[in-house]
Structure 1
Amino acid sequence: MAEHLSQSELDYPFKLLEYFNGFRVSKMIFSACELGVFDLLLKSQDALSAQHVAQELGTSMDGMERLLDALVGIEILEVETAQGTALYSSTDVANLYLAKGSAKSLHDMIIYRSQTVYPLWNNLVDAIREGRNQYEKTFGLPSGHFFQAIYRSEEEMLKFMGIMSCHWVLDGHDVVTAFDLSRFQKVVDLGGCTGALANEMARAYPASSVTVFDLPQVVEAAQKHFKQEDSGVTFQSGDFFSDEIPGADLYVLARVIHDWPEEKCLALLKKVYETCKPGEFPRNQGHPHTLAGR
């Protein structure tokens, strides 16, 4: 049988093993972030031994050494040997994206994926069978719409807002500059959360006014807990399903549409269509403009 297989088919079992073990790689990074490994290494001026890291973070020596060696193996940490002792230090990538103190940190995203998304995906089979979210089985919460679970407390809401902000660290600028949007004088980001994408929009198009429209508790938390840049972005409170949305030349619905059933999405898009000012694009005059994404 094997002699009839191509080289790519013979190699594929190893690709499958890569897929099978992917969750282990994720959990190593998640665990290191939760323990504060990357923050400790970033603050240190010197490479540290596993014993030193374990003592500082209150873990076992054996467990920490295994974790650090594994992170070296996936090229997130570096190791050198001095007088028979392994000394660990962060790579530039770890310092930039994994340490909490970095301006481009993905730390909040990682913590949310570890503490919320990862446990939920453990019940993926049941989610497929039942066709509903698994918050009740995973966290003992009502199985209504998942935003009720996400916003069940300020702490959980802030975790979710953190991950939404992190989404735009890597590609926010690329998203808002993929097309020239400078012709739109007034932009409204519906469900814009912390204003991270809105800030990218305002920086790219300083002549445009950009407004984030989100629920009152989200707007309050965004202004209280998340650094707001001096970009001119304004916030307005409201529910885009039940309240009137502000008029604009361009609406942004980023990571919004996929959250809701089709009938609610159609109702929201109809509201956008009726509120948005006529466009100016050739061959598309009279139509509203929406920058939408999953």
Structure 2
Amino acid sequence: MHRSRSASGPRVSARQERDFRALMDLAHGFMASQVLFAGCALRVFDAAALGPVDAAALARSSGLSPRGTRLLLDACAGLGLLQRCRGAGPGGPAYTNSPLASTFLVAGSPLSQRSLLLYLAGTTYLCWGHLADGVREGRSQYARAVGVDADDPFTAIYRSEAERLLFMQGLQETWSLCGERILAAFDLSPFRVICDLGGGSGALARMAARLYPGSEVIVFETPDVVAAARTHFPPPADEDGAEPRVRFLSGGCGVGIWAQSPRPGLSDRRDLLLRRVRGALRPGGAVLLVESVLSPGGAGPTRTLLLSLTMLLQAQGRERTEAEYRALTARAGFSRLRLRRPRGPYHAMMAARGGGARARIDIGGGEVTSQTGSGTGSEVGTQD
């Protein structure tokens, strides 16, 4: 015997209604991100920075569909990226940037994240389209997403000059927001040399040079990246006209180190890299690791869990807990790792070289240990 239902269907509780709305927000989240990405790609926010803009005028000046432009502008306003002006002219309603867009989406803003968003809209978004395949196979999805299959993720990231420059600019924008807090999490002034391994355009290194003028600051990168940094990312002058003292050195970075063992596993590569770094440090040296760290047990935060999936899809890696980073650095011979949590998306961790009388040093009442970074940037400090 079947239970009868009303003609209108099963009853839906208030909780189920809330859950359904939450489900739809998750299901349609990619649409909101695409509105953001399209606004950046079509320079909507740059146009609105010059004054109120309407769909008809923007369509004429940019060669866009008037109808499509109006739909995009309305969607941007609905998401809080644009603000609709009162009244409407012959071209329809006009729009101005919201404070969020003025700060983060306008090219030329000191805190602009436009290049980072365009990188996410391209390579990262394509890889995420193959998330189920990545989970099924446990490997990078570059081959499906962009047609590049390589053990080294940077072969795909730097697959063209345009892609390399966009990635470098995106990292530079990230450091404009949180780089100084990361570098100030530990006092690096006692270190005579600070070396940023895989330092890209040198943005983080230049911040280090300003914060610690008594240290020699070096960026170690592949020859192609060093050439691109010198050509496309000239250092800005300080207020007194002097450029921060940063020296670029070119070499194999992690790629050359990884090549020493035939097609090693990812854990082998990390351990080998850290051991090589430790071997290059003098007693008292340190390595700074800059990462988004998972909470104990790996249950959160959500942003780090999503970033961990990105690492799977683009670098065949993952994010880790503090305990896992302690084990990772200990295997390479580093002393006790310390973690600090400056405001922002990344944490700073330091581990000492170990194996010498000066492997641990006290600075400002706190024990500073050597520092290591794998994905977002790493500084290696040596102390005379």
Q: Which runs of 5+ in 2 are unaligned?
A: 1-10, 237-242, 258-264, 287-334, 337-351, 353-357, 361-368, 376-384
Indicate the residue corresponding to 1:262 in structure 2: 267
Deviation, 1:164, is 2.0
Distance 1:273 1:135 in 2: 31
Alignment partner for residue 26 of structure 1, among 28, 33, 50? Answer: 33
1:184-203 equivalences under 5 Å are: 184-203=191-210
SS in 1 for 2:74: helix
Give the TM-score normalised by the residue count of structure 2: 0.65
SS in 2 for 1:235: strand
Q: Does residue 286 of structure 1 match 2:299?
A: no
SS in 2 for 1:132: coil
Contact preservation (8 Å) 1:39, 1:101: no
Give the TM-score normalised by the residue count of structure 1: 0.84
Distance 2:271 2:285 in 1: 24
Alignment partner for residue 68 of structure 1, among 70, 73, 80? Answer: 73
Contact preservation (8 Å) 1:199, 1:233: yes
Indicate the residue corresponding to 1:214 in structure 2: 221
More helix by share: 1
1:222-261 equivalences under 5 Å are: 222-229=229-236, 230-241=243-254, 261=266
Partner amino acid for 2:53? L
Map Cα deviations across residues 192-229 of structure 1 (whole Å, 9 max, x no partner).
11111112212222222211000011001011011313
Partner amino acid for 1:124? L
Map Cα deviations across residues 108-159 of structure 1 (whole Å, 9 max, x no partner).
1111111111111101111111222222222222344322222222222212
Indicate the residue corresponding to 1:174 in structure 2: 181
Indicate the residue corresponding to 1:113 in structure 2: 120
1:25-174 equivalences under 5 Å are: 25-42=32-49, 44=50, 46-83=51-88, 85-174=92-181
Compare 27-36 and 179-188 and name the one that shifted more: 179-188
Deviation, 1:83, is 4.8
Contact preservation (8 Å) 1:240, 1:268: no
Contact preservation (8 Å) 2:152, 2:255: no
After superposition, the Cα gap between the structure-2 partners of 1:241 and 1:146, relative to the gap in structure 1 and judged at 3 Å, is: closer
SS in 2 for 1:278: coil
After superposition, the Cα gap between the structure-2 partners of 1:53 and 1:276, relative to the gap in structure 1 and judged at 3 Å, is: same
Deviation, 1:70, is 1.1
SS in 1 for 2:373: strand
Partner amino acid for 1:67? L
Distance 1:93 1:28 in 2: 15
Contact preservation (8 Å) 1:38, 1:94: yes
After superposition, the Cα gap between the structure-2 partners of 1:205 and 1:11, relative to the gap in structure 1 and judged at 3 Å, is: farther
State the aligned residue count.
275
SS in 2 for 1:129: helix
Point out which structure has higher relative CO (alpha carbons under 8 A, 6+ apart).
2
Distance 1:280 1:270 in 2: 13
Contact preservation (8 Å) 2:88, 2:94: no
Alignment partner for residue 190 of structure 2, among 183, 205, 210? Answer: 183
Contact preservation (8 Å) 1:134, 1:143: no
Distance 1:124 1:226 in 2: 34
Deviation, 1:16, is 3.1
Report percent identity of matched pairs. 34
Contact preservation (8 Å) 2:47, 2:53: no
Map Cα deviations across residues 36-93 of structure 1 (whole Å, 9 max, x no partner).
1111122x2x311111111111111111111111111121111113355411111232
Q: Which runs of 5+ in 1 are unaligned?
A: 245-259
Deviation, 1:185, is 1.9
SS in 1 for 2:200: coil
Indicate the residue corresponding to 2:302 in structure 1: none
Distance 1:286 1:155 in 2: 43
